[in-house]
């Protein structure tokens, strides 16, 4: 695959989806019985993000207040193709909506424009580079605090927009 990338100026994109809840991810902690934990565990809608970590060093992402499905995924790929403007190989997991019958005709159209999908082996998230970024974002970059929907979206988008400048990912 590396030879293909060098031969036709192809861009690689590690693509994955993640979700952010109002309640912080559970970190290692304990609270004595009868005492309040450091922050409230608010409940509410989830902010879902589809992201592509590109071989150019960029991060392309879309944040939505709705679940990811096959139509949202294919729309994301179309936006990503326009953003990149070159032949693109997308490396991704085997989520059912990545392969849904409903998106097959649209995938064929994108393939004619230079899109290639490369599916990782099942149960191997460690092979998708963006998975490490999602973990870092949730457990290191996001401040541990109570949020509402507005502040959650602001905090997540600030970190996503700062990728490569304010927030650096090294491998």
pLDDT in tens, 117-139: 999 999 888 899 999 999 999 98
State residue 146's pLDDT score: 81
Q: Please report the pLDDT score of residue 167 as a whole number.
A: 74
**Cα-based distances in Å from 20 to 17, 75, 121, 125:** 10, 21, 25, 18
Q: Considering the domain 2-25+39-161, what is its CATH architecture?
A: 2-Layer Sandwich (3.30)
- State yes or no: pLDDT of 144 exceeds 90: no
Percent of the chain with pLDDT over 90: 66
Q: How many CA atoms lie within 13 A of 105 on its CB side?
A: 1
Q: Average pLDDT over the chain, rounded to whole?
A: 87
Residue 75: predicted pLDDT: 96
Q: For residue range 48-100, list pLDDT tens digits in order.
A: 999 999 999 999 999 999 999 999 999 999 999 999 999 999 999 999 999 99
d(CA 116, CA 35): 53
3-state secondary structure of 18: strand
Residues paired with 54 in a beta bridge: 13
Q: Quote the CA–CA distance of 37 and 23 in Å, as a whole number.
A: 12
Query: Mean pLDDT throughout 97-110?
Result: 93
Environment class of 99 (CB within 10 Å of its CB; exposed 0-12, middle 13-18, buried 19+): middle
How far is the CA of 75 from the CAs of 36, 71, 130, in angstroms? Answer: 43, 6, 19
- Give yes or no for residue 171 having a pLDDT over 60: no
């Amino acid at each position: 695959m590396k030879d293909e990338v060098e031969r036709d100026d192809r861009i690689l994109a590690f693509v994955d989806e993640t979700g952010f809840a109002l309640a912080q991810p559970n970190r290692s902690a304990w609270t004595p019985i009868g005492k309040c934990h450091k922050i409230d565990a608010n409940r509410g809608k989830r902010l879902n993000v589809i992201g592509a970590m590109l071989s150019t060093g960029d991060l392309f992402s879309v944040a939505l207040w709705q679940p990811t499905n096959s139509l949202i995924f294919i729309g994301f790929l179309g936006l990503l193709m326009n953003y990149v403007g070159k032949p693109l190989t997308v490396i991704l997991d085997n989520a059912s909506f990545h392969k849904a019958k409903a998106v097959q005709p649209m995938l064929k159209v994108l393939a004619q424009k230079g899109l290639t999908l490369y599916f990782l082996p099942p149960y191997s998230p460690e092979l998708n580079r963006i998975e490490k970024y999602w973990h870092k974002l949730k457990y290191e970059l996001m401040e541990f605090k109570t949020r509402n929907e507005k502040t959650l979206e602001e905090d997540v988008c600030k970190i996503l927009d700062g990728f490569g400048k304010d927030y650096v990912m090294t491998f």
